[in-house]
Structure 1
Amino acid sequence: MPTDIMWVIGGPQGGGIDTGANVFMRAMARAGYYVIGDREYFSNIKGRHSYFMVRVSDEPRGGLLSSIDMLVALDAESVFTHFQDVKRGGYVIVDTSTFNTRLDQLQYMEDELKDRLREFFSKAGIEPTVKGVIDYLRGNGVNVLTIHYADLLQDVKKRLHDIDLPSLIGRYSNVVMTAYSTAIMGLPIDYVFKGLEDVFTGRRGKLLEYNKAIVEVVYDYAKPIKTGISLPPIKRDVKAIIVNGNEAVAIGKILGGLRFQTYYPITPAADESFFIEAHNIVSLDPVTEEAKALERAGIVVVQTEDEISAINMAIGAGIAGARAATATSGPGLSLMVEGTGFAGMNEVPVVITHYQRAGPSTGMATRNSQSDLRFVMHMGHGEFPRIVISSGDHREAIEDAFKALNWAERYQMPVIHLVDKTLANSYSTVIWDIDKRTLKIDRGLIVTKDENDYRRFRITKDGVSPRSIPGLGPIFWLTGDEHDEFGHITEDPVTRTEMYEKRMGKLELADREIPITDKVRLYGPESADITLVGWGSTKGVLLDVMNMLSREGYRVNFLQLKMFIPFPSEFVRNVLSKGQLIIDVESNYEAQAAGVIREKTGIEIKHRVVKVTGRPIFVDEVYDAVKKILKDKDEKIILMKGP
């Protein structure tokens, strides 16, 4: 029987949720399973409810499901928050010490959710305590498994006599609960040990033996428990890594020869720069010859005082000849608008990785969104060329980050790489089979010899001018004003028009040269009864939905948009002109990509499925939405699943 389970661990922010989930994911991966994981959390340092969802399967999957097979509750709030999503026949693991906790005692839970739960409890006749919820779950076919911490921790204390019991409770409950869940699912303990070894490295390595001892006690404690879930190891002859979106982008940049990265700390972008700081030399095979040659140089990573400085420092590094990038999110990109326009005017190669989060303003700083698409496409006063690329999964994030550095230098313009928060903070198994021959660094047209008549902005047939690097090539001038071929300020109408056409013409070159597979991809048959359209982190979800509907006999395909500037108008028009029922799926209110399609192709997509809650889009809710559209012909469905 195929393995496909949803495992969720919940608890207070700062309570080790990430650690427990990472041990779980890596244990499963070591045992040969594919994993997808997503971290959801409040914009809060410590205390608010945080949870981590992991889908474990024996075949690759693209997205998460909203229904839960196993809920690991580290506190009472996790029980109250997630109990309605546990499926019949599923499992809840809970500590008996939380049984008497009442809903009104949860100081961090939002009042709106409390009100909805009170109404539900009142109608269903449920006592508003953890025990009341447990009794309700058991009456509805959910298996509730209890851990008696007092007994278990006494056993642990005997083995770890040098650790006092109070600190043990706070520091290790995440590993206790995670190990209990893997034990009752039949995962051999050796794989949990491997998961611990993957997570507890470096300065955390001293905690490894403590955690291994705890896991041994928990496995003994859980021996009598049998469940309907069985996870025997699977042998696979493949190389694979588990990465999140921030790490994937960082790896792509490192392999692409990045030399200078700037950032101002902002969620969820900052983790990318942290990773580069810690791993500015990555020993992943294959790597490019150029990257090997630069390994000893490392990468300069600068935390700036604000995002204005971040973009301007990256531009300065690009002018100086370094492969340069910055990473930001939400309000940070707003501060980078003027600097990006300067880079466009002066044809400076720079990459901006933009991690989309829920706005406007501060919005919901730790939640997902795809609502910045239109802004990114038009940011800046006046008109200047930029490439806008979006990644749909972690494999693409690695490849796109690599290519973005090439495009920035090849076409001498800003490249904006879009990664939404769901992709940034989610993890997945990535098969490491990247072809070394495809990883070639292209630095574009660079002049290193003095020229008597050197013109930095020379009018050329394709719009790309010879670029000089200070200290290595001829002298040139830069200004924020309109300029002539030398870079000198001018307001002459003829020169103005020539320079404008030169800059904008580079997009035509990029459109001709960049392969169509880097701009758009079609999955499934060329023509279909149902065409799903999406971009960013909806990719995996829509592939799963496509496969589900195909198994039911529907002819379904999926059009993934990757590049919005230059836009693959002809390809998109050709695909959508064959579609019988076209459904656009996005994490924004206005279905912005559908609007871009109408602008560029004249085709209006009438059926739109959107989500603005800030939570990830789930496979099952999109499936249900498509079936509803088939039945009722709804033109707009707003998705709501996820606490």
Structure 2
Amino acid sequence: MGEELINRSEKLGIMPTDIMWVVGGPQGGGIDTGASVFMRTVARAGYYVIGDREYFSNIKGRHSYFMVRVSDEPRGGLLSAIDVLVALDAESVFTHFQDIKRGGYLIVDTSTFNTKLEQIQYMEDEFKERLREFFSKSGIEPTVKGVIDYLKNNGVNIITMHYADLLQDVKKKLHDIDLPSLIGRYSNVVMTAYSTAIMGLPIDYVFKGLEDVFTGRRGKLLEYNKAIVEIVYEYAKPLKSSITLPPIKRDTRAIIVNGNEAVAIGKILGGLRFQTYYPITPAADESFFIEAHNIISLDPATEEAKALEKAGIVVVQTEDEISAINMAIGAGIAGARAATATSGPGLSLMVEGTGFAGMNEIPVVITHYQRAGPSTGMATRNSQSDLRFVMHMGHGEFPRIVIASGDHREAVEDAFKALNWAEKYQIPVIHLVDKALANSYSMVVWDLDKKSLKIDRGLIVTNNDNDYKRFKLTKNGVSPRSIPGPGPIFWLTGDEHDEHGHITEDPVTRMDMYEKRMKKLELADKEIPITDKAKLYGPENADITLIGWGSTKGVILDAMNMLGKEGYRVNFLQLKMFIPFPSEFVRNVLSKNQLIIDIESNYEAQAASVIREKTGIEIRHKVVKVTGRPIFVDEVYEAVKKILKDKDEKIILMKGP
């Protein structure tokens, strides 16, 4: 559908809309709110949006920015070049000016003009030094005014906002508002509305965007913000922009969600009843969302579901991650659909508990939000470096499913399925979501058929059997599971055990139990559809195959389409499930003498090593990024072109401030 839109637009002489809008300012300065209003405004006007929040591990003060890609057709990733930069402070100008396109726009407050680079308090010293060198070589005065003059000379349009003057008009209109309180509270909406005004978006759409954001307790601020936007639109009337966003009529029903929210929605739809967490970035937001939206109404498939549909979900903030995993395991033993959510340092503490779940065949879902390590690493930055860790975490060997979502739609569906798989196969399921997906937003077409989302609780026994064997040896490795209360009594231990659960070190029993547990992976491999394990996009036979997983999906798809328009035959192999691994499917895709390029946000190209282990295929060309910033579409495109030209075996990506 996307290609058809482009072709139709080109035939009509209409250029498709595709812009990068960025707002920057101090952490705690309302960046998220301003970006949320903008995303919902343009979405209400019929455009597709992708957004990403980038921020330091800091409560207030350090630089934060929000990137939004706006297009008239679905896109998968962000571009590094900026069309419109909304700078809420001087640091935003210094940080992002080199990324503004020729012909792009900088919206800036005149009060920042005299700010010197040396006055920027929180900027990294290393970055400052690189800017000093650039200013010195380029003959640029190290002030915001100097940067603006440089941008003008390089074809960038400067839109100035006299913020102090505007505030005086706001004060006149809203006479009951204290002027000093306006300075920090409303600058985000002021500058955001300025950008929508110069791009020609009717004010009614901004009002709708405000109504979407300022709800609940924030509703009292709605009328103030609407009044401020009216004044901003008056200020912007004389201004014109070459970037326009005329409203588009669409009948599509869609939602804007980030990765945390998508996973939470999937768990809620999947019948989650017990969620634990210890606050950690970027995982905690998922549990916060569940707390706020835990009462659901579904078409119940069982009497149990009917009885529980109004009960909601118990969400527990534990004292640490050890308690979080053990409490979730306890809930799983008790018969509740249970999960926990964490990130790298937290998952490190969950290793022993996960092994206990593996030994005792307890269903539990662990949503693991990958961030940059090791140790604390960069707590608010992206990474895909935990793949090997989750595949092997825990001493000894025990079955687990490892699934990685590639976009927000998949995050909803995979979270739902993870709960089913955990109970059906009675094993831990680790759901991988990297930070770039967790903290990014996209517009998801909401056409899920709730009736097709069937809850499968697996093999449960409730009759009172005097000779009940919790770990009964079966052909497929799955034993009847008892729920305390209605079901028969059973025993659990961290030690090896017999069919009843009693401790044993008998070698024959040990072998029987070991094989019984591991058989579950053979069963899961047979029963789980290949589309849940891997997907091939593009032509079946291609000259170039790009490989990726997690948040690289949309980026690679966009780059693949760009290369396709230049005549290259390119396809994309998305890896979704790493245990059980779709070895045969992957081997078939990669055994056609094509150029193979692996793209990941880790240094060792871990997915490529898994492919080599499972298929014997060595992938020579690797594109990796470890800066913690998201991978941009143009980075992938440029890296592929460089490999085609120079045959590079490893390219390290660096774009993003």
**TM above 0.5:** yes
1:5 aligns with 2:38: no
The 5 Å alignment of 1:55-66 reads 55-66=69-80
Q: What is aligned with 1:619? A: 633
1:394 aligns with 2:408: yes
1:68 aligns with 2:68: no
CA contact (8 A) 2:296 2:310 kept: no
Query: 1:282, 1:366 → 2: CA distance?
Result: 31
Q: Map Cα deviations across residues 144-198 of structure 1 (whole Å, 9 max, x no partner).
A: 1100012111111111111111110110000000000000000111111011000
Q: What is aligned with 1:200? A: 214
Q: What is aligned with 2:253? A: 239
1:451 aligns with 2:459: no
State the one-letter code of the partner of 2:213: V
Q: What is aligned with 1:249? A: 263
Q: What is aligned with 2:556? A: 542
User: Closer, same or farther in 2 for the Cα pair 1:292/1:191, shift >3 Å?
Assistant: farther
Q: What is aligned with 1:602? A: 616
Q: Map Cα deviations across residues 333-364 of structure 1 (whole Å, 9 max, x no partner).
A: 00000000000000000000000000000000
State the one-letter code of the partner of 1:389: I
Query: 1:204, 1:579 → 2: CA distance?
Result: 58
Per-residue deviation, 1:237: 1.1
State the one-letter code of the partner of 1:267: T
CA contact (8 A) 2:86 2:195 kept: yes
Structure 1: 4+ residue segments shifted above 2 A: 286-295, 435-438
The 5 Å alignment of 1:222-621 reads 222-282=236-296, 289=301, 294-621=308-635
1:162 aligns with 2:151: no
Q: Map Cα deviations across residues 497-534 of structure 1 (whole Å, 9 max, x no partner).
A: 00000000100000000000000000011110000000
Q: Map Cα deviations across residues 542-594 of structure 1 (whole Å, 9 max, x no partner).
A: 00011111111111000000000000000000000014100000000000000
Query: 1:191, 1:472 → 2: CA distance?
Result: 55
CA contact (8 A) 1:530 1:579 kept: no
Query: 1:550, 1:119 → 2: CA distance?
Result: 39
Query: 1:398, 1:331 → 2: CA distance?
Result: 24
SS of 2:172's equivalent in the other structure is helix
Query: 2:160, 2:272 → 1: CA distance?
Result: 50
Query: 1:564, 1:226 → 2: CA distance?
Result: 51
Percent sequence identity is: 89
Per-residue deviation, 1:453: 1.5
Query: 1:123, 1:522 → 2: CA distance?
Result: 47
Per-residue deviation, 1:385: 0.3
Per-residue deviation, 1:437: 3.9
Per-residue deviation, 1:287: 6.3
Query: 1:278, 1:554 → 2: CA distance?
Result: 48
SS of 1:384's equivalent in the other structure is coil
Q: What is aligned with 2:229? A: 215
User: Where does the alignment leave 5 or more consecutive residues of structure 2 unmatched?
Assistant: 1-14
SS of 1:89's equivalent in the other structure is strand
CA contact (8 A) 1:69 1:90 kept: yes
1:145 aligns with 2:156: no
User: Closer, same or farther in 2 for the Cα pair 1:571/1:142, shift >3 Å?
Assistant: same
1:21 aligns with 2:38: no
Q: What is the RMSD computed on CA atoms of the aligned residues?
A: 0.9
1:43 aligns with 2:43: no
CA contact (8 A) 1:257 1:294 kept: no
Q: What is aligned with 1:106? A: 120
Using the size of structure 1 for normalisation, the TM-score is 0.99
1:85 aligns with 2:120: no
Q: What is aligned with 2:644? A: 630
State the one-letter code of the partner of 1:527: N
Query: 1:27, 1:265 → 2: CA distance?
Result: 31
Query: 1:433, 1:300 → 2: CA distance?
Result: 28
CA contact (8 A) 1:255 1:288 kept: no
SS of 2:261's equivalent in the other structure is helix
